[in-house]
Chains A and B, each alone.
Chain A
């Protein structure tokens, strides 16, 4: 890895670490309302890579027509989105502090506010990819260069409407559409394998005509590579199956579904913060 690349990875690792800390602070501050901290921690590195490096944006104009669109289809990963938007300056510290207070911009599940970077309202699962297809189609029709990224959960892929969209995107030749499956292996009631075993996501998406790749969803360098590598399948959308750990970064939350949605005590917050340091590569 070149010095420049190493520097980028280090910066993104630090960004992801800060995002995790902010998400924990937001959950603590939410008090008894708690937050979906586990499923947010699994997608922090993906969001850090996207917002820190990959997404084409115009910092002074969040409505820039050629901006890459990022849709959080798994709305319960909202803390990952909010903290990324805070990192790039679209959401203020005051707005972060007001998380889950009445009438706040930031609620448990995202509410559309494009000027703040929240492209869609989400929360009900399985709806984001269809929206992404519409947005990607519009980009093609208007001959815009933007890409549309849709971040989904592996449990979310239980929803039938996901597969209507998976079927349609290759049919419409949407090579400007990228689906990312945050495959943390857990859904609300337990392990994805036990609740509804879907077999290989990579094979399923590929069989529908997507270019499908797997990646370690916490390996910043690997994520950068998968987002920037030349595409192998012409005219096809890209599915990135990111293998992740629910609760990543906090030992007592990792792979522990009690933190799918949880209330954080001060002691737990302090303990979690102790663990969140950027280790040397």
Chain B
């Protein structure tokens, strides 16, 4: 039984996304003998050492070989195990893309891929380690569910839910250590069902991952300026909760998607694909990372540079609201 309270939320925030995932696995796997954890030489950095020590028979390190890891996991899944495979999100999504496509998407193997440090969390490691296309790639694989939890509590909720979820899933963890808290008490979490965190009548903000918290900060700042913005946590990016998009977009002037991911093919793309088909919706401002490789830097610096912090999100929403109807809404991001 998962309990969420302020004290636990603080611990998870301090541990960060990877550490919290390790705790979640340790807590949920005790009685689940069919659950295995695989790593490609990232056990220590994934917060999985305690799991390895507690359940050595259910832990497998395949060395630095992500493609082989997905293949082995698929084989284990075929025989009734439920593997959780872990590596950095960019490597999971890109190095082993075809294995994910064929073994998980095409054959439907019950493998949960945990993409660590999606977005910019790897800071000074640089672009080789940033996950800026991972969500777009995973979203394009037929049959794959894609989840991007908002904070530590939602990582716990996700892992608990996955224990009983049949089918292939890609979980994109964002954030580093000392993440902000979105949830400090229990709430209803269901894969595929978005959570409305704040009501609003002028602007609809839909966010996932770390940007849920930043969007809440932005919405509060907008409130103080007389702009009413709703915030929806679209933790499941695929399948998209279209009812939640409908509900958020009714009668608002502007739709804003916010994600720590490139603006091509991620949450913004998913919402726009639906919205274009539906027609008649508000204009959409895509807030995310530019469609270019920038320079490396520390995590906080990068989030600021790319305007993915509450204050700047609010500023960009104000600017977009002031734009003329004939004006294209560009993503206001730095590239250098």
Q: How many whole Å from B100's CB to the nearest CB in chain A?
A: 11
B107 A164 Cβ-Cβ under 8 A: no
Question: Could you mark each residue 124-159 of chain A with 1 if its beta carbon is under 8 Å from any beta carbon of chain B, else 0?
Answer: 100101111111111101100000000000000000
A131 B81 Cβ-Cβ under 8 A: no
Q: Which of B95-143 contact A (CB under 8 A)?
A: 98-99, 102-103, 106-107
Closest Cβ neighbor of A165 among chain B residues: B68
B102 A127 Cβ-Cβ under 8 A: yes
Question: Could you mark each residue 158-179 of chain A with 1 if its beta carbon is under 8 Å from any beta carbon of chain B, else 0?
Answer: 0011001101100100000000
Complex contacts, B258 vs chain A, CB 8 Å: none
Complex contacts, B81 vs chain A, CB 8 Å: 138, 141
Which among A112, A138, A160 is the interface contact of B79 at CB below 8 angstroms? A138
Q: How many whole Å from B52's CB to the nearest CB in chain A?
A: 16
Q: Which of A179-202 contact B (CB under 8 A)?
A: none
Q: How many whole Å from A264's CB to the nearest CB in chain B?
A: 29
Q: List 12 A-B contacts (CB under 8 A).
A: A120-B78, A127-B71, A130-B99, A131-B71, A138-B76, A138-B81, A161-B68, A161-B71, A164-B67, A165-B68, A167-B65, A171-B63
A134 B72 Cβ-Cβ under 8 A: yes
Closest Cβ neighbor of A139 among chain B residues: B79
Closest Cβ neighbor of A146 among chain B residues: B79
Which among B68, B102, B106 is the interface contact of A133 at CB below 8 angstroms? B68
Closest Cβ neighbor of B95 among chain A residues: A161
Q: Is A121 an interface residue when CB atoms closer than 8 A count as contact?
A: yes
Measured CB to CB, the residues of A under 8 A from B are 112, 119-121, 124, 127, 129-139, 141-142, 160-161, 164-165, 167-168, 171
User: Does more than half of chain A's interface fall in helix, strand or loop, or is it mixed?
Assistant: helix
Which among A112, A127, A129, A134 is the interface contact of B76 at CB below 8 angstroms? A134
B65 A168 Cβ-Cβ under 8 A: yes
Which among B63, B74, B80 is the interface contact of A131 at CB below 8 angstroms? B74
Which among A119, A121, A124, A133 is the interface contact of B72 at CB below 8 angstroms? A133
Which among B63, B74, B102 is the interface contact of A134 at CB below 8 angstroms? B74
State the CA gap A161–B64 with chains docked (Å).
12
Closest Cβ neighbor of B96 among chain A residues: A161
Complex contacts, A168 vs chain B, CB 8 Å: 62-63, 65, 68, 72
Q: How many whole Å from B41's CB to the nearest CB in chain A?
A: 12
Question: Could you mark each residue 76-91 of chain B with 1 if its beta carbon is under 8 Å from any beta carbon of chain A, else 0?
Answer: 1111110000000000
Q: How many whole Å from B105's CB to the nearest CB in chain A?
A: 10
B75 A127 Cβ-Cβ under 8 A: no
State the CA gap A142–B78 with chains docked (Å).
13
